Structure 1
Amino acid sequence: MRDMNADIAGAGRPTPMMEQYIEIKAANPDCLLFYRMGDFYEMFFEDAEMASRALGIALTKRGKHLGADIPMAGVPIHAADDYLQKLISLGFRVAVCEQLEDPAEAKKRGSKSVVRRDVVRLVTPGTLTEETLLDTRRSNFLAALARVGAGEGAAFALAWIDISTGAFRVAETAFEALSGDIARIDPRELVVPDQLFSDDSLRTLLRGLGPAVTPVPRATFDGATAADRIARYFGVATLDGFGGFSRAELSAASGALAYVERTQIGSRPALDPPRREAASEVMAIDHSTRANLELVRTTSGERRGSLVAAIDRTVTGAGARLLCERLASPLTVPEAIDRRLDAVAWFVDNPDARRGTREVLSSSPDLARALSRLALDRGGPRDLGQIGAALGGAVALAEGLGAADPTSGNLPSEIAAAVGALAALPPELGLRLATALADELPPHRRDGGFVRPGFSLELDEARALRDESRQVIARLQADYAEETGVRTLKIRHNAVLGWFIEVGQAHGEKLMAADAGTRRFIHRQTMAGAFRFTTTELADLETRIASAADRALQIELSVFADLVERVVAASASLKAAAEALAVLDVSAALAEIAEAERFTRPKVDRSLAFSITAGRHPVVEQALRAEAGDPFVANDCVLGPGPGESRGRLTIVTGPNMGGKSTFLRQNALIAVMAQMGAFVPAEHAEIGVVDRLFSRVGAADDLARGRSTFMVEMVETAAILNQATERSLVVLDEIGRGTATYDGLSIAWGTIEHLHEINGCRTLFATHYHELTGLADKLARVHNATVKVKEWKGDVVFLHEIVPGAADRSYGIQVAKLAGLPEAVIRRARGVLSRLEAADRQNPRAALVDDLPLFQSRPAAPSAEPAPPDPALGLLDTIDPDDLTPKAALEALYRLKAARAEGAKRE
């Protein structure tokens, strides 16, 4: 029922209820206000109009304000989560305003008194905890960005929190790396100080990255009080026990915590202490590279078709989230990578243990998120049930893995640590939950019925009175009939007297006379032909029956509170167990796909090696098999230093469109990512020296929101690569320069290759249709050519998808156009034009081009300890003043310049 405790407003002063609404709304102007009225959340004024459009619900009206109708829209309480989910996905923030007292209590203060209400929580994209609002297989991070200082000396840091699991991490970053780090974290919401958000360059950078950006007052990130705020939240005197943090990191962490406290309004999420992540321990992957490689979602935003979808065999939500985090943040420390690979290898070598582990995990609930809801007082009986089930699964896993290796001496360190965390769980907690909770649990504690019969004698009695009151009354009636000898004695009920004992007139008179001394049967009413009595016992029973339902619920709520207190007290060990379950799930899942897809263990070290034998693209291979049953053509790739070389190779890949160049480029980048995340890889053999930065410029896309054309985007991304790649980086470039005029594009591609070879020195795959570039293999020592094999048959092209050494002399574009269905007239005309262009091009073959064009003779020089000798002609030129020369003197000066240039050429 809706709360109608206030009169509809007239044209003048609003009713007390509307005054209350306006006051609460004024305190939360940036949120839709869900105003609790009985069984509905109501919205008024502009909130109602926006919600009506967004949710497709009816827009009505309620009274008037300042002479105008007040728009109103509402959603029922029982369906509120569904509406919240839609609003949050559309970018809204919602303030939930609850009734803080029973309407009956408000009426005691007067007929026009308003039920006390206040906002109990702000619902934002980054602070969700409800199971129905969260994606089970995706983390829900709230991130905060802080900047300390200004100008070139400014320091940036990010802090990110998932209140649904308690994860809390911080890391320093730089402006250039900011978009990549935000893409790696993939937060649902990003909190920034308002003065930082007003920075045009930062606002432009953040546009289009994905998370909802929420500006907050600058004081939220106050660096002077940051350490105190964090210490106060975790109840410690100093942060020394958490590790060392920079000033920017403290500011970001404080900002994130302040926002959590503001949105949770008195509730305290069970967060882990902040953990610092060093940038040097994680492979740097910028935003565009993540998008190009489709690591966790495709360019269209879907999970299906991405790398994570292809390799995810996890059976728990926590495992799926951990897999995504590992994929988004590949490691750069070989020892840490090997620990992960050891765990995968153990499950590969022990298939029975793997199957048993996955079977137990498949029925294991989401321990971390259930714990978080309970800590925030938003949990229900099912969350307690999930904790209990997870504890049972943890015990079974610890026993099963211990049986697989009784001594634990041969267990890899990751698995051994996980088993240790599971074994450390308090056994009495699981036993208590199993004993207290019923088999079938309701979603809400207010529903009752979640405590197992037999757990509480008092509760069983209350339930018996509530559910079996007629049987209880019948037993009491039989006792009284036997005691008095009146077989016609009845216990009846009406609205005036309640429960009473009724006997005939003759028996009533005898009963009153017989009971005169003890007054056991108390006379209440004399009727025509009948007497009505009560007893102290019946009156007490009547009171207990009337309140049995309330008392039973109160007892259950007391049991619930006790169980929650016990669970929260054990939160540290429960969180460790949740992490252990996720680690076991990921390790077993990666072993599962390794066996199913013939993946092998890579060797990852600190060298500059990059040697892939029979490598495959994991996504394309599965798609080919699913669609047509076609096999994937595996290819080798060697980019490490050759004999006598100290830097990586640059391989120029040529060949026709649709021949497999882009697939080849991407698969090698994905193999590097998989290897360093700690997974087996789709190859017969893989040896990879740690990649510190991964760059991929593949495909074409514009950025109209920032006013960038396709070619501009291509150049911006290429510039980032040339400015940031190191000799430990892996660079994948596809069709650089194709977005502009032919000679402009060829020149840019040529200069890019020379810079990568001479300056960056990184391991590089460079796919191109500019066949002229293959001539650089004769001039640059570490440049190699590779091409895609094709066969021509009766004018058509057959793609073999094999990458072999050598250079292509044709792109077969017309053949591909024919396959695409271009009209035959267009194909004939294209063939004729191509023949004429090729005939003209034979006048200046590729081999001569390298030497003939002065532009390409001026490639960047390799760093040298000895400066180049000065050119005599340039020195002579500095002594000549053209304004003082006669025609004869000018001619003589020209001869002297030519002689000086010839002398300089001999020196070179």
Structure 2
Amino acid sequence: MFSSSFMFQKPNSTIRIFDRSDYYTLHGNDALFAAKEIFKTTSVCKKIGPEHNKIDGVILNKNHFETFIRDLLLVKQYRVEVYVNNGSAKNQDWNVEYKGSPGNLAQFEEVLFNNNDVAVESAILAVKVGSEGTSKIVGVSCIDSIKSIISVSEFEDGDSFMNLETIVVLLKPKECVLQVGEGNTDFQIVKQLMERNNVLVTPKKKRDFSTDSLVQDLNNLLRFNKGQQRNSQALPEINLKRAMAATASLISYLNLTASSGEGGLFTLEEIPRNQYLRLDAAAIKALNLEPSGRLGASANSSLLGLLDKCKTALGKRLLAQWIRQPLRDLALINERHEVVEALVADTDTRSTLSEDYLGRIPDLHQLAKKLGNKKAGLQECYRIYQCMMYLPLFLEKLNALAHVPAVKAMIFDSLRESIEEMDKFQQMVEQTIDLDSADRGDFLVKAEFDDELKVLKSEMDDIENKIQKVLHKAANDLGMESGKSIKLELNPRLGYLFRITLNEEKNIRNNKSYTVVNSIKGGIRFKNKNLEILNDEYLSKKNSYTSQQKLIVAEIVETAAGYVPPIKVIGGIIATLDVLNSFAQVAVSASEMYVRPKMLSNETQELRLVKVRHPCLEIQDGVNYIANDAHFTKDSRFHIITGPNMGGKSTYIRSIGVTALMAHIGSFVPCERATISILDSILARIGADDSQIRGLSTFMAEMVETSAILRTATSNSLVIIDELGRGTSTYDGCGIAWAIAEHLAKNVKSYCLFATHFHEITRLAEDVPSVNNFHVTALVDEKLVLLYKVKPGICDQSFGIHVARMANFPDDVIEFAKQKQAELEDLQGAVFEGSDNPEKKRNIINDGEKMIKDFMEKCTGSNESFTDEELINRVRNLKEEVLAHNNPYIKALLGMS
């Protein structure tokens, strides 16, 4: 056994599992955690160990182990360590055999994927922070293990690391390797940044970022083009010193140089930060771009879920990438829109691609990766071959759209050229792999390659003929039809078995001549003695055949690895088509069809949406969505929206943000018409949640996010702010909200939607011409009726008490609230003659406040010394001067109205 102290010297996010050959065990808190996750109860745990030091233990079978591993690494983003015993039964010596983390899945790929196409992203980031004078210089490196790409960047940043957060949002890494140690004062700040973006942080020491062997490592890992010098020292990216230190840490952490199979597989590129819209983490959350993970949340509650009609794992990964990487290039955006438009117009091509063609394409990027690192076999080669054989039909179907320039350039021509490059690969497979056996799931080299293989193949064929006779005999015995109601099934691990449907199980029930092996969705698998004997012989011969063909298989895989580049290219083209076809599917299946937005250069500075809808909300059952307009021009940039809670302010401003983003990723949009100038960023400050993971209060969290907006936004940014200033006192909150609104409107001049409950801020429109007031409408009679329509003008009253009544507050609470409202009504809420007209009320208040200011200055402006009686008389005279103007607002304040 091992001591209990050994078990707990780790964070709770690391799970230790012990491999005992036939089963697996977990101990201590890990056992309790696994029991709850897998069995939903801790009663399966047993106390184990010496009497004085017992701990909880739980046993997992192979299926439980594999399911648990997938959940830990792909969903919960935990680390996993698997231990094996290198000692004897008595003198146990447990050592780590396998380790995995969300960004390092290499040692668990067989368990996680097992030839299944799973749309899993596994990018891992490393960050190296340095200084030059007063500036921070950040170097980052990101490795995408599926696409085999090393992406690097180096840039200046501030104390809050806003530029680094942009990179994190752009790349969506699962894990971040971060230097820790003395002198690294930025560790905690960067760690908090990663954690609020749901990135697991792995601390590493300074020595792990050493670049001593980096050039040699890159020479081995990178794929160089024909004729290109195999020297990474000549690449421009090598001059990014901190980014290269980050790259060195990832190569070490992922142990990429340990296996020669990784050689020549990777490409090195600089992250094209200026190619994409800047999104902050708040925008990702505020616009519901990705699933929240909340229990019971529907797929359509996020933009990713709504747009994901993809049929391939390739497409699903690319869609998730596009949503975080909206384009800023007008030509590229229009190209995507042109393809979507063609697919929307051609119903037959669109539906056939979705229903018949795309679903047959395997995960070519995963298969290319296996080929490249020499972990593939005949099965992977055969899957690629099948795909290549199928692609000409794909091209034939796409020919209907080949007249569309964007379809021809982006998809048709590129796909045709890549298919032609794969012609010799197909010939090689046909000449080397036994295709008849492969069709049955048995992956063998053709027997003519070796005399020993010929003998073994002849013996295997003879056994198979005998097995067919056993099938016929069993069919007669059970009164069933051979090959129809009772069939032979060849399982890669178990060999030959009989199979019948679940409904026919009664035919073998209580029949001692037959033994059930297992029951699956496809039916009952079973065997008899004769089949078992022949199957054992067959598996023995097959094992011999597999051993004999190993060298030939290695040569086939080595040759196939040379086709990795065109396989990756084909995968990228298919992924692009899958996503654009998904956009078209969503556009035509909406309750009201989406439209193609008219995209303009950023110099035009116009954003006009006619009857814009929120795509995720309108699709919900029972929702009759009220569409609204939004119009921004050079002279009308800042929109203040007021109105009752639950009246639709937040939904309205979110719908504009989501629609703008959809247009920039190439999707059609939920409007009647849309004209959108190219944006450079979408920034948001919505909601007032405490940020527990950061240790920040509601107010501090919104100040941090708003500060980032003020530093980042430009005149081409779309800024969305909702209910700013609720986390502090009313006066502080109103003052800060006003100052921020005025700065954005006067200085930044970005497109801005500013929803607020501070009605005072609407007066900003009097001083800044580009500010316009809008309000969501409501009717008040006996009860509040929300109309969800956005109209010009201000909302000059609060509906809080009406909303409380809608929420069924007790009557006595409502009445008490009314009393308190009257007592605490702020000065702007005073009622007087003319206050029923918002514009007239505003002018009366402005005049009154000027008089009050003048009164205060006269009271404090004299240096003369007065007696108490003289002072009282002076104040009385000044008061009479003010009252002589007969201002209704001042009279109301003094209780004279």
Fold match by TM threshold 0.5:
yes
Among residues 231, 248, 264, which one is paired with 1:254 in the alignment?
A: 248
- Answer with 686-695 or 203-212: which moved more: 203-212
1:438–1:452 contact (8 Å) kept in structure 2: no
Q: Distance in 2 between matches of 1:293 and 1:83?
A: 32
What residue number does 1:827 align with? 814
Partner SS, residue 207 of structure 1: helix
Q: For each residue in 1:627-653, what CA deviation from the matched residue of structure 2 results, as whole angstroms up to 9, or x when unmatched? A: 12x4322211112213xxxxx611111
44 and 461 in structure 1: CA distance in 2 versus 1, 3 angstrom threshold = farther
2:77–2:174 contact (8 Å) kept in structure 1: no
What residue number does 1:804 align with? 791
1:654–1:771 contact (8 Å) kept in structure 2: yes
| Residue 360, structure 1, aligned to residue 346, structure 2 | no
Partner SS, residue 798 of structure 1: strand
29 and 662 in structure 1: CA distance in 2 versus 1, 3 angstrom threshold = closer
Among residues 153, 157, 178, which one is paired with 1:192 in the alignment?
A: 178
Among residues 144, 156, 167, which one is paired with 2:126 in the alignment?
A: 144
What residue number does 2:345 align with? 349
Per the TM alignment, residue 97 of structure 1 is displaced from its structure 2 partner at its CA by 6.6
1:401–1:419 contact (8 Å) kept in structure 2: no
Per the TM alignment, residue 49 of structure 1 is displaced from its structure 2 partner at its CA by 9.0
Partner SS, residue 177 of structure 1: helix
200 and 126 in structure 1: CA distance in 2 versus 1, 3 angstrom threshold = closer
What residue number does 1:841 align with? 830
Q: Distance in 1 between matches of 2:240 and 2:331?
A: 26
Q: TM-score, normalised by structure 2?
A: 0.73
Per the TM alignment, residue 462 of structure 1 is displaced from its structure 2 partner at its CA by 1.7
Q: Distance in 2 between matches of 1:283 and 1:805?
A: 30
What residue number does 1:389 align with? 386
617 and 549 in structure 1: CA distance in 2 versus 1, 3 angstrom threshold = closer
Residue identity opposite 2:415 in structure 1: V
For structure 1, the residue ranges without an aligned partner over 5 or more in a row are 1-8, 10-17, 101-105, 443-447, 473-543, 643-647, 858-876, 888-908
The RMSD of aligned alpha carbons is 4.6
1:284–1:694 contact (8 Å) kept in structure 2: yes
Per the TM alignment, residue 460 of structure 1 is displaced from its structure 2 partner at its CA by 6.1
Partner SS, residue 399 of structure 1: helix
Q: TM-score, normalised by structure 1?
A: 0.72
455 and 436 in structure 1: CA distance in 2 versus 1, 3 angstrom threshold = farther
What residue number does 1:532 align with? none
Alignment of 1:305-454 (within 5 A): 305-358=301-354, 359-376=356-373, 378-379=375-376, 382-402=379-399, 404-405=401-402, 411-416=407-412, 418-420=414-416, 422-430=418-426, 432-433=428-429, 436-437=434-435, 449-451=442-444
2:775–2:793 contact (8 Å) kept in structure 1: yes
What residue number does 2:754 align with? 766
What residue number does 1:609 align with? 606
2:46–2:58 contact (8 Å) kept in structure 1: yes
631 and 172 in structure 1: CA distance in 2 versus 1, 3 angstrom threshold = farther
830 and 29 in structure 1: CA distance in 2 versus 1, 3 angstrom threshold = closer
Flag the structure with larger Rg. 1
658 and 389 in structure 1: CA distance in 2 versus 1, 3 angstrom threshold = farther
788 and 408 in structure 1: CA distance in 2 versus 1, 3 angstrom threshold = closer
What residue number does 1:237 align with? 231
Per the TM alignment, residue 669 of structure 1 is displaced from its structure 2 partner at its CA by 0.8
For structure 2, the residue ranges without an aligned partner over 5 or more in a row are 224-229, 467-536, 836-840, 854-860, 867-897
Per the TM alignment, residue 259 of structure 1 is displaced from its structure 2 partner at its CA by 2.2
| Residue 553, structure 1, aligned to residue 546, structure 2 | yes
Residue identity opposite 1:215 in structure 2: P
Residue identity opposite 1:675 in structure 2: A
2:349–2:400 contact (8 Å) kept in structure 1: no
2:195–2:201 contact (8 Å) kept in structure 1: no
2:279–2:682 contact (8 Å) kept in structure 1: yes
2:445–2:552 contact (8 Å) kept in structure 1: no
Residue identity opposite 2:339 in structure 1: A
What residue number does 2:104 align with? 127
Residue identity opposite 2:714 in structure 1: T
Residue identity opposite 2:313 in structure 1: G
1:166–1:270 contact (8 Å) kept in structure 2: no
Partner SS, residue 149 of structure 1: strand
Among residues 69, 78, 81, which one is paired with 2:66 in the alignment?
A: 81
| Residue 287, structure 1, aligned to residue 284, structure 2 | no
Per the TM alignment, residue 583 of structure 1 is displaced from its structure 2 partner at its CA by 0.8
1:166–1:269 contact (8 Å) kept in structure 2: no
Partner SS, residue 672 of structure 1: helix
What residue number does 1:894 align with? none
Could you tell me the percent identity over the aligned residues? 25
Q: Distance in 2 between matches of 1:52 and 1:263?
A: 37
Per the TM alignment, residue 779 of structure 1 is displaced from its structure 2 partner at its CA by 1.9
What residue number does 2:564 align with? 571
553 and 227 in structure 1: CA distance in 2 versus 1, 3 angstrom threshold = closer
1:40–1:77 contact (8 Å) kept in structure 2: yes
Q: Distance in 2 between matches of 1:342 and 1:856?
A: 62
Residue identity opposite 1:561 in structure 2: A
2:265–2:373 contact (8 Å) kept in structure 1: no
Q: For each residue in 1:517-566, what CA deviation from the matched residue of structure 2 results, as whole angstroms up to 9, or x when unmatched? A: xxxxxxxxxxxxxxxxxxxxxxxxxxx99973432232454554344333
Per the TM alignment, residue 197 of structure 1 is displaced from its structure 2 partner at its CA by 8.3
Partner SS, residue 639 of structure 2: strand
| Residue 93, structure 1, aligned to residue 79, structure 2 | yes
Among residues 686, 701, 711, which one is paired with 1:698 in the alignment?
A: 686
1:334–1:690 contact (8 Å) kept in structure 2: yes
1:126–1:187 contact (8 Å) kept in structure 2: yes
Residue identity opposite 2:279 in structure 1: I
| Residue 277, structure 1, aligned to residue 271, structure 2 | yes
458 and 399 in structure 1: CA distance in 2 versus 1, 3 angstrom threshold = farther
1:394–1:422 contact (8 Å) kept in structure 2: no
Per the TM alignment, residue 163 of structure 1 is displaced from its structure 2 partner at its CA by 1.4
1:616–1:635 contact (8 Å) kept in structure 2: yes
2:632–2:751 contact (8 Å) kept in structure 1: yes
What residue number does 2:594 align with? 599
1:610–1:637 contact (8 Å) kept in structure 2: yes
1:55–1:87 contact (8 Å) kept in structure 2: no
Per the TM alignment, residue 700 of structure 1 is displaced from its structure 2 partner at its CA by 1.6
433 and 604 in structure 1: CA distance in 2 versus 1, 3 angstrom threshold = farther
What residue number does 2:632 align with? 639
Q: For each residue in 1:342-400, what CA deviation from the matched residue of structure 2 results, as whole angstroms up to 9, or x when unmatched? A: 22223233333333333311221111113323444555665444323332333322333
1:772–1:846 contact (8 Å) kept in structure 2: no
Q: For each residue in 1:383-441, what CA deviation from the matched residue of structure 2 results, as whole angstroms up to 9, or x when unmatched? A: 44432333233332233324643x78674532245424543441232355465345778
| Residue 784, structure 1, aligned to residue 772, structure 2 | yes
What residue number does 2:459 align with? 465
- Answer with 823-832 or 795-804: which moved more: 823-832
2:438–2:444 contact (8 Å) kept in structure 1: no
2:222–2:267 contact (8 Å) kept in structure 1: yes
Residue identity opposite 1:340 in structure 2: R
775 and 189 in structure 1: CA distance in 2 versus 1, 3 angstrom threshold = same
Q: For each residue in 1:302-361, what CA deviation from the matched residue of structure 2 results, as whole angstroms up to 9, or x when unmatched? A: 665111111222111110111111111112222222222222223233333333333311
